[in-house]
Amino acid sequence: MSLIKSATPRNCNRKTLNEEEESGLIQCAHLILPWLTPSELANTSLTCKTLFHFSKTVVGSRCLDASRSFENLPVPFHNTLDKTPYAYFLYTPSQIISSSPSHSPQRQFWGSTFHTKLKPGSLSQRGPISVVADSADFSVGLSRRCEKPGGDCVDAAAELGESDCGCECEKCLEVGDENGVFGCPCSYGVEEVGIASECGPSCRCGLECENRVSQRGIRVRLKIVRVSKKGWGLFADQFIPRGQFICEYAGELLTTKEARRRQKIYDEHASRYGISSALLVVREHLPSGKACLRMNIDATRVGNVARFINHSCDGGNLSTVLVRRSGALLPRLCFFASKVIQEGEELTFSYGEIRLRSEGLPCFCGSSCCFGILPSENT
């Protein structure tokens, strides 16, 4: 905001500007306005007619693509209920490490049609959903307890690293086949499982490999729609077949200490304003049952389109799958279509069944088995 003020001609409040002033103002607007928050952008638009015009252009551009060109396809906002044009957050297509609040990204270039596609790495300028995985299945709930009776929990953010295992697929081709194609010929099945393995850093195949489905980004048209009572929701903008990969749950990877600190703040906001957070806890238990790996992914401030997926008490139309890549330590939580999804249908899944708070946030999923309140547990 201070940059705009210093770069704006002092007599910008005049009805007309000379050619030199107009040129300088336009140049500054293109460079600075896309970095502003909604409140800063609104205040800047009141400065003069020229900045009002460019601010309106930025808002329109933001509404056209929530992903800021990070994804293969744009994900637009649609709102016919009120005057809220879009939801403001910082975008990342995958997990990023945030060891402390000071390391969290504060701004992101968004809203100009005069910039090239940003790379995911440019982001690191430096109640919660929970998932528990047990060998072949897992359950989903809000802020589920991490510790398993008699076991220890390893904080993934504190123990981040890579394993030296080989490709779990074992069929990855070291040489081209008869057609000259390199990669893994295996099919990717997600119909009956809650945990899946994909080729990863230690494999020789590329993104064209059939066993890297979730690593290619979003490949179906989606849109974010303002829904009565529920706020924003993620909807299909095309027909989606069963088993289709939708997206992963991306956000800041936090230590457990930081996750619990943030959750206290989010709980206060929920009680005051009725706003829920997007803090996700993933726990993968070892077969021995004596330890588990815990990941805390917060998409409240930094995330992707998955942060808009709402809860449904009937289980919804999405299945959640922990995808582990060979050669990588941490799994990724991914969403797949659990049934055929029609164009215009909202994408939902179950946050869980446990409800510790009798006065929790109201649920408006509309299913015949709706409990009336959203699932909730202790962090």
Which position has the higher pLDDT, 144 or 123? Answer: 123
Band the pLDDT of 201: cuts 50, 70, 90: confident
Q: Say if residues 272 and 373 touch (Cβ distance below 8 Å).
A: no
Q: What's residue 363's pLDDT?
A: 86
pTM for the whole structure: 0.78
Locate 281 and state its tokens: 């806890």
- Tracing tokens 């390199």 back to the chain, one arrives at 182
CATH class label, 120-349 = mainly beta
Give the span between the Cα atoms of 133 and 287, in whole angstroms.
10
Locate 8 and state its tokens: 């704006």
Give the span between the Cα atoms of 107 and 115, in whole angstroms.
16
Q: Say if residues 235 and 77 touch (Cβ distance below 8 Å).
A: no
Beta strands in the chain (DSSP E): 77-78, 90-91, 96-97, 129-134, 137-142, 152-155, 195-198, 222-227, 231-236, 245-248, 251-254, 279-285, 291-303, 310-311, 318-325, 332-337, 348-349
CA atoms within 13 A on the CB side of 90: 23
At residue 129, the 3 state secondary structure works out as strand
Band the pLDDT of 368: cuts 50, 70, 90: confident
- Give the mean pLDDT of the chain: 76
Q: What's residue 373's pLDDT?
A: 80
* 91-129 residue pLDDT tens: 999 988 875 554 556 789 999 756 444 444 343 332 455
The residues spanned by each domain of the chain are: 2-64, 120-349
